[in-house]
Structure 1
Amino acid sequence: MTAEELTLAKDKDLVASLQAIKRAAELARKQAIQTGTEIVIMRDEQIVHVSAEQLKQEGRL
């Protein structure tokens, strides 16, 4: 589902799921930086390993 489709969903849990996923991703980034570990993400339809140092440099936090 796209973000637009989610906003039109009748199920309130489904509507809130996108925000929950974004919060979980942010917490995973913070934990990776705190523990010096990498995370695995999808970027441009490719699986990418991102180090804690790269996360710091991206400045997403």
Structure 2
Amino acid sequence: MVAKRMALAVPRLHPNLADVYREEMACLRQGLAITDSGPEIKKAVSALIERVEVHPPAAT
């Protein structure tokens, strides 16, 4: 029963996910090499970032 639950918990990924990611990174690398890449490169970078977390420093 535990094995069945673990099997259900495994996320299903698109079979070509690695290829899609590799292609996106290649395009991003090319865009970053161009100094006048404009808003397209900003959009590509933003698509990679899900969220930004900022935590206050620990009190000492």
> Same fold by TM (over 0.5)?
no
TM bin (shorter chain): 0.3 to 0.5
Q: What TM-score do the two structures reach when normalised by structure 2?
A: 0.38
More strand by share: 1
Larger radius of gyration: 2
User: 1 or 2 for the larger relative contact order (CA 8 Å, sep ≥6)?
Assistant: 1
